[in-house]
């Protein structure tokens, strides 16, 4: 899919004279991210791996001209009083900028390009991100309306996976999607999209994720999708999951399923919510059914490493996280790629009876490794 001629192509063409050396990088489909660490130090991400680009700006002023052009074209400004810029470009790509004196290397820019490609589970399996059985299990979770949290680091593929899961929601439901910036590509018939708004230069007009979550609860949602839980809106999401809204989804930055729940707890406690720590822990343990951990490996590939079920709290108020599937062993091949598949661990999900009562053709044997048998 070429960006040329699309929204992004038109946008970048309009400020082409200012973009100078990075203009070809922004139009190259193989490049997913452009990272500028001052005028003479530019990197790009290709296939999940970073490499240095030969592109350079001649002077600091040329780089600042490009930064100012991007800021002005999206109705923002960046200067000594406001040395940071976080904005969404017309095609959904994200740009973040920090300028001197805060940025010691010179203006520092990250442009994460957004491609509206339709990705299917079939492609996901071909990429070795997941096995067929594990993908089928996730589809079952979506069909049964399990509340799912997708956990991973920056650039691990959380948004792509979230979009895939949303595409497996059964027909006939009303889905409300809330994001900081519209990034999710969802193939579904009834979708309502909300996007946050930053405050203006006078500090007015901000609309937060928490605000939109509160509104969504009054708009008859069947499922609520939160692009990324970053703050106190985590509490509203937990409440939604615990008040009859089955099949809610969200993503969170974390390194493991257990860490994801602890981070969600910390974020939910960060607001003005009048709730005790134990009550919040109980709410989270009751709300979240499944945590999916996704990671970017050293070869640049994105893999699902854990699919875990949350089974409440133990006597010491620790979350009971039970792995159902796990990527346990990886081997580096001669070509540098990491090889290995996520495997079942012999643990039946607590809702196995629900799977069988719905006559879903996914036998209990699917939860046991063929190697073990």
The per-residue pLDDT for range 105-120, each reduced to its tens digit, is 999 999 988 766 678 8
The per-residue pLDDT for range 57-74, each reduced to its tens digit, is 999 999 999 999 888 877
Q: Does residue 373 carry a pLDDT above 60?
A: no
Q: Does residue 18 carry a pLDDT above 50?
A: yes
Q: Does residue 1 carry a pLDDT above 70?
A: no
User: Domain-by-domain residue ranges, the chain?
Assistant: 7-112, 121-367
Residue 312 · residue 286 · CB < 8 Å: yes
Q: What is the mean pLDDT of residues 174-182?
A: 87
Residue 4 — pLDDT band, cuts 50, 70, 90? very low
Q: What is the mean pLDDT of residues 202-229?
A: 89
Provide the pLDDT for residue 12: 64
Provide the pLDDT for residue 6: 47
d(CA 129, CA 307): 13
Q: Which one has a higher pLDDT value, 214 or 138? A: 138
Provide the pLDDT for residue 60: 93
Q: Residue 137 class from Cβ within 10 Å (0-12 exposed, 13-18 middle, 19+ buried)? A: buried
Annotate the chain with three-state secondary structure.
Answer: CCCCCCHHHHHHHHCHHHHHHHHHHHCCCCEEEEEEECCCCEEEEECCEEEECCCCCCCHHHHHHHHHHHHHHCCCCCCCCCCEEEEECCCCCEEEEECCCCCCCCCEEEEECCCCCCCCHHHHHHCCCCCHHHHHHHHHHHHCCCCEEEEECCCCCHHHHHHHHHCCCCCCCCEEEEECCCCCCCCCCCEEEEECECCCCCCCCCECHHHHHHHHCCCCCCEEEECCCCCCHHHHHHHHHCCCCCCCEEEEECCCHHHHHHHHHHHHHCCCCCCCHHHHHHHHHHHCCEEEEEEECCCCCEEEEEEEEEEEECCCCCEEEEEEEECCCCEECCCCCEECCCEECCCCCCCHHHHHHCCCCCCHHHHCCCCCC
Average pLDDT, the chain: 88
b/e string for 83-109 if b means 16 or more Cβ within 10 A?
eebebbbebbbbbebbbeeebeebbbb
CATH of 121-367, one of 1.10.3720.10, 3.40.50.300, 3.10.450.200, 2.140.10.30: 3.40.50.300
Q: Taking the domain 7-112, which CATH number applies?
A: 3.30.450.90
Cα 311 to chain center, whole Å? 24
Residue 15 — pLDDT band, cuts 50, 70, 90? low
The per-residue pLDDT for range 187-215, each reduced to its tens digit, is 788 999 998 887 776 778 889 888 999 89
Residue 175 — pLDDT band, cuts 50, 70, 90? very high
Q: What is the mean pLDDT of residues 37-52?
A: 92
Q: Does residue 371 carry a pLDDT above 70?
A: no
The per-residue pLDDT for range 299-310, each reduced to its tens digit, is 888 999 999 999
Domains 7-112 and 121-367 share a fold: no
Provide the pLDDT for residue 13: 67
Range scoring the smallest mean pLDDT among 86-90, 239-243, 344-348: 86-90
How many Å is the Cα radius of gyration of the chain? 22
The per-residue pLDDT for range 248-257, each reduced to its tens digit, is 999 999 999 9
d(CA 322, CA 257): 9
Q: Does residue 51 carry a pLDDT above 90?
A: yes
pLDDT cut 70: percent of the chain above it: 93
The per-residue pLDDT for range 273-301, each reduced to its tens digit, is 778 889 999 999 999 999 999 999 888 88
Candidates 345, 341, 339; CA nearest to 325 is 345
Q: Does residue 142 carry a pLDDT above 70?
A: yes
Q: What is the mean pLDDT of residues 93-110?
A: 92
Provide the pLDDT for residue 155: 82
């Amino acid at each position: 899919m070429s960006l040329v001629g699309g929204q992004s192509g038109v946008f970048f063409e309009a400020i082409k004279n200012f973009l100078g050396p990075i203009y070809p990088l922004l139009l190259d489909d193989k490049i997913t991210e452009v990272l500028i660490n001052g005028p003479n130090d530019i990197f790009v991400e290709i296939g999940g791996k970073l490499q240095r680009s030969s592109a350079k700006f001649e002077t600091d002023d040329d780089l600042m001209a490009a930064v100012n052009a991007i800021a002005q074209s999206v109705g923002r400004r960046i200067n000594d009083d406001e040395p940071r810029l976080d904005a969404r470009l017309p095609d959904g790509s994200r740009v973040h900028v920090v300028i001197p004196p805060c940025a010691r290397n010179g203006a520092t820019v990250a442009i994460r390009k957004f491609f509206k490609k339709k990705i299917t589970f079939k492609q996901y399996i071909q990429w070795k991100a997941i096995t067929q059985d594990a993908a089928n299990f996730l589809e079952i979770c979506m069909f049964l309306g399990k509340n799912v949290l997708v956990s991973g680091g920056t650039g691990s593929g959380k948004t792509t996976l979230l979009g895939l899961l949303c595409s497996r929601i059964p027909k006939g439901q009303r889905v409300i999607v809330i994001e900081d910036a519209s990034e999710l590509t969802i193939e579904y018939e009834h979708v309502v999209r909300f996007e946050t708004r930053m405050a203006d230069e006078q500090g007015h007009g901000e609309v937060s994720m928490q605000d939109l979550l509160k509104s969504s609860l009054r708009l008859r949602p069947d499922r609520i999708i939160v692009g990324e839980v970053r703050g106190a809106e985590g509490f509203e999401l937990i409440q939604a999951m615990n008040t009859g809204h089955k099949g809610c989804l969200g993503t969170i930055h974390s390194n493991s399923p257990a860490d994801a729940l602890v981070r969600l707890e910390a974020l939910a406690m960060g607001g003005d919510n009048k709730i005790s720590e134990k009550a919040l822990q109980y709410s989270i343990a009751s709300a979240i059914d499944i945590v999916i951990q996704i990671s970017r490996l050293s070869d640049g590939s994105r893999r699902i490493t854990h699919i875990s079920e949350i089974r409440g709290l133990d006597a010491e108020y620790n979350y009971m996280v039970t792995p159902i599937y796990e990527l346990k062993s990886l081997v580096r091949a001669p070509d540098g790629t990491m090889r290995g598949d996520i495997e079942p661990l012999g643990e039946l999900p607590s809702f196995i009876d629900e799977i069988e009562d719905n006559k879903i053709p996914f036998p209990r044997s699917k939860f046991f490794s063929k190697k073990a048998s």
